[in-house]
Amino acid sequence: MFANWTVIETPRYADGILAGMGALRGAFLRPNIVFLRLPHDETRASEVREVMKRAPDHGLGIVLFADHPQAGIGRKSNINVWVRTPEWEHGHTVAELDLELLLAYRLQQNWKGRVRILTAVDSEEEKGTVMAELKRLVDLTRIPRSDVYALVGDLGSSVGRGPQADVNLFGLPADIDFAWARRMVLQSRSTCLFIQGSGAESAVA
């Protein structure tokens, strides 16, 4: 296996990552994801936002890692994938879910656990239709050892009532509130990944 490395020295965290993203854009096997940690102070938060804003310009998806202070990544078994209705209502494209589902699948292969696809619905009347769509999504993406859940309520309350997992995956909002991300970690009682695809992934390919 061939590998090489270099050092980029910059006065700011964001400048170093942005310089690296630009330099690697011309690499033969260039990366397609920038992996960031959830910031815990305002200075780092503004720099992380800057990197997240520029990542799509370089064709990069984003994974924001928010670790649970006690649970860590648990027993490395079960994975919850939270989706919003508009993301999967056109299941043949899977829209923004591609990278989220692909990462869940990769974790499942390494951990040998189950993947649960979950969403929040407004009423009991919606559950039947939504469950059918979620099952169709699982069929399209061919994820083995998977279950689907539709929970009545908003996302915040549903996360706390959902089945316990070792890691929870969420779509990354366009303008993420880091305080909201921390609440999701506490309510899910697990480490969370907030994910935005680059647009080049396909979970149904």
Same domain as 40, residue 119: no
Q: Which domain holds residue 157?
A: 79-196
Residues 89 and 147 occupy one common structural domain: yes
Name which of 196, 198, 194 is nearest 65 in CA terms: 194
Are 104 and 67 spatial neighbours (Cβ–Cβ below 8 Å)? Answer: no
Residue 2 counted as domain residue: no
Q: Which CA distances in Å does 4 have to 1, 28, 59, 168?
A: 10, 12, 22, 33
Q: What is the pLDDT of residue 96?
A: 65
Residue 30 located in a structural domain: yes
CA-to-CA distance for 84 and 155, rounded, in angstroms?
Answer: 9
User: So what's the pLDDT on residue 158?
Assistant: 92
| Contact of 22 with 54, CB cutoff 8 Å | no
Residues 134 and 129: their CA atoms lie apart, in Å, by: 9
The total number of structural domains in the chain stands at 2
Whether residue 64 contacts residue 176, with contact meaning beta carbons closer than 8 Å, is answered with yes
State the pLDDT at residue 166: 95
> What letter does residue 4 receive in the DSSP assignment?
-
Task: Identify whether 107 is part of a domain.
Answer: yes
Mean pLDDT by 10 residues, the chain (205 residues): 80 92 83 93 94 93 94 91 65 64 93 93 90 90 92 90 94 90 94 92 80
CB neighbour burial string for 115-149, b if at least 16 within 10 angstroms, e if fewer? bbbbbbbeeeeebeebeebbeebbebbebeebebb
CATH number, domain of 192, equals 3.40.50.620
Same structural domain for residues 17 and 94?
Answer: no
Q: Where are the alpha helices (DSSP H) in 13-97?
A: 13-24, 42-54, 85-88
Helix (H) or strand (E) holding 63: strand 61-66
98 and 178 in a single domain? The answer is yes
Both 118 and 47 in a single domain?
A: no
**Is there a single domain that holds both residue 84 and residue 120?**
yes
Residue carrying the six token digits 């919606």 = 126
Q: In the prediction, which pLDDT does 140 show?
A: 87
Tokens 């959902």 belong to which residue?
162
**Which residues on adjacent β-strands are paired with residue 152?**
121
Statement to judge: residues 127 and 175 lie in one domain: yes
pTM: 0.89
**Do 106 and 48 have their domain in common?**
no
pLDDT for the residue numbered 195: 95
